[in-house]
Structure 1
């Protein structure tokens, strides 16, 4: 298509995304009392007297709006991914288009698995450690806005981190980066994942960092194992060394 047609298509898809998120935000705003009760559930056991407080006159509205828009974006994730892939779909070859639907499903599933894993495993352990540390030096005054925002950011962070297997899978299966390089450069990748884990955990506690790092390492190794089986089944063992990009020199293989 001509450039202006591409821009028109991009505008149409962005409009769909924005309108959908706005509508979802309005719906989620009226549902925030229920959402807050759900979000407080894993934290309440570690809060003194189980009571939360809002300390400013605008705090309640700001918190409800913040929760509504964040949850709306999360709930609209499948549609957002679909619109992004839909924009690039005409440029894909027929044999590449068959990956679009599985990609949307896999990306959505991994994101929500990461968020649920964080809600049930990370949030209780993380807040228990944080509140125990705070209680050792001062009386804890549980600011609801602060606690909920950190919890949501943690869940989004884990949801994004759980996309790692999909990224590694496509980079290796489409021979963008050779599988052999992912395996041989494991030292650099492990250090990079540690840095990423520290960067996307908003509470900066060692508990969430360790859990995040362990989850990313496990997902990375699982994704490599699955990728190896797919490549060997499709291309044979020679496919493990094929790739268009090479970020590491041959010296790293030694």
Structure 2
């Protein structure tokens, strides 16, 4: 559906939302259908398991029934399509909110879209290249020497898929912070002064976004979110310098009264 800069009535918003969701669903269905078959499926699975293959008994996962083989393969294709086709999904989500923006705010649409895609893929990549191996080493070690870990393919993949998607979504924090300041929802000074509370919220986000809840994963994600948060504040201070100055002056006037 084309992007319209016009403001829409409520029921047209609902129709717009429905069409955006339909496009997202069709994208994921078509994408999953393509990635379900070889050579995509085998290549994707080999790439996903590469960091932890040495930890798996025999270098393989285990399925416990013929139907589970189908669901496992389908989940591989689904999670892969979410990551591969994330630009389309993000575009549709952002385009839904475009009519609510003022003309001056709409100029940020394309840069924000590009940043959102980079952050999502960056979060997924961070979980794969930095988090995945130490996190699974920690979890595998919890059973001790008397326990043999036999990874069930379906559950194992669900954990990995949620790890990728969870980190990707969590890495969108800078977008939220940037627009909260830019749209005047939360003053810059408030976010700067309340860093202890913000860090606590980021720690909760890290706990929710990590499916394994291991201290390795939560600590790494929490640290990454703090860095992204501080970077987004620095960027907002540079971009919205005039607005931040006006907010400070208004706060001083209000304090004097």
> Does TM-score exceed 0.5, indicating one fold?
yes
SS at match of 1:54: coil
Q: CA deviation at 1:88?
A: 3.2
Instruction: Give the aligned partner of residue 146 of structure 1.
Output: 155
Distance 2:18 2:243 in 1: 40
Distance 1:105 1:6 in 2: 24
Residues 179, 240 of structure 1: 8 Å contact kept: no
Q: CA deviation at 1:239?
A: 3.9
Equivalent residue for 1:9, pick from 16, 24, 28: 16
TM-score (norm 2): 0.86
Summarize the alignment of residues 44-123 of structure 1 with structure 2, pairs less than 5 Å apart.
44-123=53-132
Equivalent residue for 1:238, pick from 239, 246, 249: 246
TM-score (norm 1): 0.87
Q: CA deviation at 1:7?
A: 4.1
SS at match of 2:176: helix
Distance 1:205 1:87 in 2: 36
Q: CA deviation at 1:135?
A: 4.1
Distance 2:13 2:154 in 1: 42
Instruction: Give the aligned partner of residue 25 of structure 2.
Output: 18
Distance 1:209 1:14 in 2: 31
Instruction: Give the aligned partner of residue 217 of structure 1.
Output: 226
Q: CA deviation at 1:208?
A: 0.6
Q: CA deviation at 1:38?
A: 0.9
Equivalent residue for 2:206, pick from 193, 197, 203: 197
The size of the alignment, in residue pairs, is 243
Instruction: Give the aligned partner of residue 175 of structure 2.
Output: 166
Residues 206, 218 of structure 2: 8 Å contact kept: yes
Residues 40, 148 of structure 1: 8 Å contact kept: no
Distance 1:130 1:7 in 2: 44
5+ unaligned residues in a row in structure 1: which ranges?
244-249
Distance 1:84 1:94 in 2: 19
Deviations 1:168-212 (A, max 9, x none): 111012221001110111111111221221122111211111111
Residues 177, 233 of structure 2: 8 Å contact kept: yes
RMSD, matched Cα = 2.2
5+ unaligned residues in a row in structure 2: which ranges?
1-7
Residues 187, 244 of structure 2: 8 Å contact kept: no
Instruction: Give the aligned partner of residue 128 of structure 1.
Output: 137
